[in-house]
Amino acid sequence: MQTAQYSALGEAARRFIAEKRRLLIDGQWVDAADGKTFAAIDPATEGEICQLAEAGPDDVDRAVKAARRAFEDSKWSRMRPADRERLLLKLADLVEANTDQLAGLESLDVGKPLFLARIIDVHGTVEFLRYMAGWATKVEGRTLDVSIGIPNAEFQAYTLRQPIGVVAQIIPWNFPLAMAAWKLAPALAVGCTAVLKPAEQTCLTALRLGELIQEAGFPAGVVNILTGPGETTGAALVAHPGIDKIAFTGSTGVGKLIGKSAMDSLKRVSLELGGKSPVIIAADADLDQAIQGAADAIFFNQGQVCTAGSRLYAEQSVFDRVVAGVADIAKSLKLGAGYAPDTQLGPLVSGEQMERVLHYIDTGRREGGEVVTGGARHGGQGYFVQPTVFTNCGPNATVLREEIFGPVLVASPYRSVDDIAALANDTSYGLAASIWSNNLSFVHRLTKRIKAGTVWVNCHNFVDPNLPFGGFKQSGLGRENGRDAIDLYTETKTVLMKI
Ligand code: NAP
Ligand code: MG
């Protein structure tokens, strides 16, 4: 467990993993009612990091009831918005003050390079919390004119936006701390209470965030954190009658299951699902930038990004140059444990995920795709997969159609704007796309035609708390971030007064 190789993580991160981690229910850290535990695994060594409590149905029930009591409690429901804002700002300060520890834990648990965990995951979380804190004091309804035809009567009508209530929030393993913040911050800003379930592969930073939430002074029960598998802990949470809304990020398959189950009791539901996002490089683009951008779009976070640029389309005349450039970058990347100092590409999150990705690579080969670089596991220990580039995949190739969630790119040429619009949209997903070009007319024409929740131009994978984020088609339902996130966690109440 506490081996010398963890020295780069720092003392505070090592202290956190020195003991078993428990569930946060009603302001207390508790064991699972039935005492069950499971292991957090280091994906670079396949070794155990520490034990975690595994929440069962009794724990889910206690957490939901605690969140319900906290929601109805006047300490929370009648708290001034400015005081909720202050709590979120306090939490942001605490996260910032614990940057080293949180980055160390995230790097260890997910396998991501430490410097990226620090900049993207922890700093991104601080910025997100501060942004959402501001929304606490800016929730607003509308006043409306009415035309009700009753003689000699006048009316006054307005709407209120009120917190939905108790929300179940289920998050994936690719950006565990940031996803916890994306879920919790808007819910807390508007006055909801929450039960958060991190992915079983990556619980550490969510649990540390739970401690910081307590330290910031949020009342007991406002945030509850349950660790355990999706099929048991997650499913029990989704099915619980005490939940008013479910917010989920993860695979499209599980998202559909959750959506269907939510409909049984008409729980509100928002879904942030998978993608197969195209990166489109026109011949007139700044090719050096576009090639580096295309490599970053797929290899960032080992390709475990819902908006990963996993389909590369380059205009015919520059296709060979673009593919060679991306392949050269892939070959140059230094693979290693996230916490090793010179690592550029870490392991995948789990053995299961590595096997999935390797299976996709085999399928790609079997279906006639050509591997330009990569195409195999890296080393014999840890869940490392070589960054891989495919060409010559047919339009129905599995690697072109399904979300792989690993460092695997499929490159294809295109000829015209009509051609590329059709290719880009030839997918069941619609999360994001990027266009690399200096031709404004081409960019605008294509942007309008692409069916995706985000279109980046001359950049990829950039997010900002103020920008709505979500998917067309099977990439999801609803938009997170910005003002849209406030709508996700509030209901509209119409008030009509005869005066
Ligand atoms: P997943 O199975 O959809 O898991 C996402 C979250 O849902 C996890 O917390 C998971 O818990 C939970 N969950 C799973 N089954 C559930 C159920 N029946 N009821 C309630 N909650 C449930 O995704 P994954 O296994 O982590 O990854 C599989 C694939 O999902 C990836 O290869 C990728 O294609 C996609 N993915 C997409 C995103 C995204 O941001 N869009 C992120 C991650 C993964 P446990 O993990 O603890 O079982
Ligand atoms: Mg892990």
Cβ burial 131-166 (10 Å sphere, 16+ → b, else e):
bbbebbeebeeeeeeeeeeeeeeeeeeeeebbbbbb
Through-space distance between the first and last CA atoms of the chain, rounded to whole angstroms: 70
Q: Is 192 a catalytic residue?
A: no
**Across 400-413, average pLDDT:** 98
* 202 and 77 share one domain: yes
Inform me whether the pLDDT recorded for 216 exceeds 80.
yes
> In this structure, is residue 34 part of a structural domain?
yes
Instruction: State what percent of residues in the chain have pLDDT above 90.
Output: 98
Inform me whether the pLDDT recorded for 385 exceeds 60.
yes
Q: Is 50 a catalytic residue?
A: no
> In this structure, is residue 118 part of a structural domain?
yes
Let me know: does 359 contact 183? Beta carbons within 8 Å: no
pLDDT band (50, 70, 90) for residue 441: very high
> In this structure, is residue 470 part of a structural domain?
no
pLDDT band (50, 70, 90) for residue 258: very high
CATH number of the domain encompassing residue 325? 3.40.309.10
What is the structure's pLDDT at 5?
Answer: 76
Question: pLDDT by residue (tens digit) across 310-350?
Answer: 999 999 999 999 999 999 999 999 999 999 999 999 999 99
Let me know: does 374 contact 389? Beta carbons within 8 Å: yes
Ligand 2 ion: Cβ-proximal residues, 5 Å cutoff: 40-41, 109, 201
Please pick, among 272, 315, 403, 480, the residue that the annotation labels catalytic: 272
Inform me whether the pLDDT recorded for 301 exceeds 90.
yes
For atom 42 of ligand 1, which residue has the closest CA?
250
What is the structure's pLDDT at 3?
Answer: 60
| Minimum-distance ligand 1 atom for the alpha carbon of 356 | 32
Please pick, among 50, 306, 315, 393, the residue that the annotation labels catalytic: 306
> In this structure, is residue 469 part of a structural domain?
no
**Angle in degrees, CA 170, 173, 178, rounded to 5:** 75
* 109 and 144 share one domain: yes
Q: What is the pTM of this model?
A: 0.97
- Tell whether ligand 1 has an atom less than 6 A from the beta carbon of residue 176: no
Whole-angstrom distance, CA of residue 204 vs CA of residue 225: 11
| Minimum-distance ligand 1 atom for the alpha carbon of 228 | 47
| Minimum-distance ligand 1 atom for the alpha carbon of 253 | 3
- Tell whether ligand 1 has an atom less than 6 A from the beta carbon of residue 250: yes
- Tell whether ligand 1 has an atom less than 6 A from the beta carbon of residue 476: no
Ligand 2 centroid to Cα of residue 111, in Å, is 8
Whole-angstrom distance, CA of residue 416 vs CA of residue 282: 9
For atom 45 of ligand 1, which residue has the closest CA?
230
Inform me whether the pLDDT recorded for 1 exceeds 60.
no
| Minimum-distance ligand 1 atom for the alpha carbon of 237 | 20
Ligand 1 centroid to Cα of residue 230, in Å, is 7
pLDDT band (50, 70, 90) for residue 77: confident
What is the structure's pLDDT at 138?
Answer: 98
pLDDT band (50, 70, 90) for residue 495: very high
* 269 and 177 share one domain: yes
* 14 and 141 share one domain: yes
Q: Which residues, at least 6 apart from 488, have a Cβ–Cβ distance to it below 8 Å?
A: 186, 245, 247, 270, 478, 479, 480
**Across 418-445, average pLDDT:** 97
* 103 and 245 share one domain: yes
> In this structure, is residue 237 part of a structural domain?
yes
Ligand 1 centroid to Cα of residue 38, in Å, is 18
Ligand 2 centroid to Cα of residue 349, in Å, is 6
- Tell whether ligand 1 has an atom less than 6 A from the beta carbon of residue 276: no
* 372 and 267 share one domain: no
**Across 124-130, average pLDDT:** 98
* 195 and 304 share one domain: no
Let me know: does 216 contact 94? Beta carbons within 8 Å: yes
* 283 and 349 share one domain: yes
* 182 and 302 share one domain: no
Inform me whether the pLDDT recorded for 2 exceeds 60.
no
Whole-angstrom distance, CA of residue 202 vs CA of residue 227: 9
Whole-angstrom distance, CA of residue 64 vs CA of residue 55: 12
Q: Note the residue count of the chain.
A: 499
* 81 and 172 share one domain: yes
- Token look-up 């970058």 returns 329
Whole-angstrom distance, CA of residue 26 vs CA of residue 73: 13
Ligand 1 centroid to Cα of residue 250, in Å, is 4
Question: pLDDT by residue (tens digit) across 447-488?
Answer: 999 999 999 999 999 999 999 999 999 999 999 999 999 999
- Tell whether ligand 1 has an atom less than 6 A from the beta carbon of residue 231: yes
Q: To test ligand 1's pocket by mutation, which of 196, 251, 298 has the most ligand atoms within 8 angstroms of CB?
A: 251
Whole-angstrom distance, CA of residue 207 vs CA of residue 177: 9
Of 71, 77, 62, the residue nearest 244 (C-alpha): 71
| Minimum-distance ligand 1 atom for the alpha carbon of 170 | 9
Which ligand is the nearest neighbour of the Cα of 353? 1
Q: Into how many domains does the chain fold?
A: 2
* 338 and 419 share one domain: yes
Inform me whether the pLDDT recorded for 209 exceeds 60.
yes
- Tell whether ligand 1 has an atom less than 6 A from the beta carbon of residue 486: no
| Minimum-distance ligand 1 atom for the alpha carbon of 406 | 32
- Tell whether ligand 1 has an atom less than 6 A from the beta carbon of residue 238: yes
> In this structure, is residue 264 part of a structural domain?
yes
Range of the domain at 62: 4-273+475-496
Question: pLDDT by residue (tens digit) across 14-27?
Answer: 999 999 999 999 99
For atom 12 of ligand 1, which residue has the closest CA?
230
* 299 and 260 share one domain: no
CATH number of the domain encompassing residue 118? 3.40.605.10
> In this structure, is residue 67 part of a structural domain?
yes
